[in-house]
A = this chain, B = another copy of it.
Amino acid sequence: MEQENEARGRLIECAKKEFLEKGFAKASLRSISAAAGMTTGAVYFFCKDKNGLFGAVVDEPLQRILQAIAQHFSSDLHADPVAFQHETGDHDDFADMMISLLYADRDALLILLEKSAGSCYVNIIDRFVEMIEQHNLALAQKYAVLFPGKRINQYFLHWFSHVSINAFVHLVTHEDSRERARKEIKPVMDMLIEGWTAHMLEDDV
């Protein structure tokens, strides 16, 4: 977006390639900077350290996704929980948004999701899971009110949140084409919605 320095761009592009190939821990600043045609020292002109370089690759797309999710959830909560399973349009919108975001800078996301071991972004997926779990919890609580004698199944809630996130992670990880991704996610989302409806509440003992 910004008309950045050219060498910096080269550096980050090479870093992206190396992180994608070797992962954060095994990536070598030496080989990254060599590929970018500069010395290791130069890297430290552009970034604070190895983690900073990693951040330069992944942070922007990450923030975009984080914000989009937060925003979506804040608006979504006012919806009618009874109609959870019928709000197809809403779920479709969410899925479309996620796919757009995920594929906008797919390599960066792949790195973030699969190659961040050792960096300060480890377990970033857990942050996504936490966000969606909180949201699901709120939704489920409103839902549970309508069913006396039922209560939220906490374990299922947690697992369900995991699976929901992983649905997108799996998508961006296994499906190269954004168009096909749009199509493939549908039955997955449907199955998730049905599962939510059928199993989120358990009998209160």
Using a CB–CB distance below 8 Å, which chain A residues touch chain B? 23, 25-26, 117-118, 153, 155-156, 158-159, 162-163, 166-167, 170-171, 174-175, 180, 184, 187-188, 190-191, 194-195, 198-199, 202
Contact = CB atoms under 8 A, between A and B. Distances in A.
B162 A170 contact: yes
A127 to B, nearest CB: 16
A195 B156 CA distance: 15
A143 B136 CA distance: 34
Nearest to A188: B159
Contacts of A194: 191, 194-195, 198
Nearest to A195: B191
A202 B174 contact: no
B25 A118 contact: yes
A119 to B, nearest CB: 12
Q: 5 smallest A-B Cβ distances: which pairs? A: A191-B195, A187-B199, A155-B184, A117-B117, A156-B187
Contacts of A117: 23, 25, 117-118
Nearest to A166: B166
Nearest to A169: B162
A64 to B, nearest CB: 25
Contact of A159 (B153, B162, B170, B202): B170
A159 B170 CA distance: 7
Given A118-B25, A155-B175, A184-B156, A198 B191 contact: yes
A3 to B, nearest CB: 20
Contacts of A162: 166, 170
